[in-house]
Amino acid sequence: MHPVRTISFVGAGALASGLAKLLRARGFIIDEIITRSAPASKRKAGVLARSVGAEVSTLDTARLRCDVLWLAVPDGAIETVSRALAERAELPSIALHASGALNSTVLAALAERGVQTGSAHPMMTFVAGEPPSLRGAWFAVEGSPTAVRAARAVASKLGAKVFTIKPENKTLYHAFGAMLSPMLATELESAEQVGLRAGISARDVRRIMEPIVTRTVQNVLRQGAGKSFSGPLARGDIGTVASHLETLSDSPEAHVYRALMDYAIGALPVKRCDEMKRLLRKRGSGAGKRMSGA
């Protein structure tokens, strides 16, 4: 396999934008940003293309003369895009997709045309704005040996690490990632709402959250959740937990608290577990009656 120098992207969302900018900064040539023919899609692709020195094209007009074609489109569109590309006379030798949940079989139409296919998903959150550094981050890769070698080479240039994921484990892997970032953000949002109802100002609430959240994440990553677990569940403080459940009972955040408490009882060093379980059941039935209007 010759060195990967030229990469084209299908898609111009946050992930494609972030990867394209990072790769351009590491010396790769971004040849094309391939998008749908709708005017809004082409405008969005144009913004990205100008920032990385690429051309804008569509599935019908793309040159596809890149070393690697990287599909960074919604999961539900990958197979359709693969089939559309497979109808082209000239194809790249390697095609990857960036889905965390799907494996390389969704690129079967391209594989049937002789393209080496694989998936390469960075375990990192990409949102609007400047892309995050991928130095030290991990890519999950799988697919044909040639595609995997190309993905490894690209990730290495970004300072990232790589591990091979079994194709049948991609959905579990993606659920793992969802719990590390969007679900974590959801839990922190629910905590923020409780803080606001406690009278903490919107200006201060996240500043108060930052030190404890940062320390907790550091502790868990260094020594595991069990040794990082503290608070009333760890102490077996039934009265405090009961007051939490009562105070939160009529709020959406009660469901978050109860779900986390339920999981903690089975997975972490919670004291007085049987009493905690009974408390959870008792408060749960009471909440159900209130919500039903009984």
Q: Identity (one letter) of the amino acid at 196? A: L
Q: What is the pLDDT of residue 291?
A: 43
Q: What is the pLDDT of residue 294?
A: 38
Q: What is the pLDDT of residue 113?
A: 98
Assigned token pair, 254: 């009660």
Q: What is the pLDDT of residue 178?
A: 98
- Each residue's pLDDT, cut to its tens digit, for the chain (294 residues) gives 788 999 999 999 999 999 999 999 999 999 999 999 999 999 999 999 999 999 999 999 999 999 999 999 999 999 999 999 999 999 999 999 999 999 999 999 999 999 999 999 999 999 988 899 999 999 999 999 999 999 999 999 999 999 999 999 999 999 999 999 999 999 999 999 999 999 999 999 999 999 999 999 999 999 999 999 999 999 999 999 999 999 999 999 999 999 999 999 999 999 999 999 999 998 776 554 444 443
Q: Identity (one letter) of the amino acid at 264? A: A
- DSSP H helix total and E strand total for the chain: 13, 8
Topology of domain 6-167 in CATH is: Rossmann fold (3.40.50)
276/172 Cα distance (integer angstroms): 30
pTM: 0.91
Q: What is the pLDDT of residue 283?
A: 73
Over residues 188-235, the pLDDT tens digits come to 999 999 999 999 999 999 999 999 999 999 999 999 999 999 999 999
Sheet holding 94-97, edge to edge: 55-58, 29-35, 6-10, 68-71, 94-97, 116-122, 138-143, 161-164
Q: What is the pLDDT of residue 286?
A: 52
In the chain, CATH 3.40.50.720 covers 6-167
What string of DSSP letters covers 190-238?
HHHHHHHHTT--HHHHHHHHHHHHHHHHHHHHHH-HHHH--SHHHHT-H
Cβ-count burial 188-197 (b if 16+ within 10 Å, e if not): eebbbebbee
What string of DSSP letters covers 80-124?
HHHHHHHTSSS--SEEEE--SS--GGGGHHHHTTT-EEEEEEESS
Q: What is the pLDDT of residue 37?
A: 93
Q: What is the pLDDT of residue 137?
A: 98
Phi, psi of 162 (to 5 degrees): -135, 140
Over residues 85-121, the pLDDT tens digits come to 999 999 999 999 999 999 999 999 999 999 999 999 9
Angle between helices 253-267 and 238-248 (to 10 degrees): 150
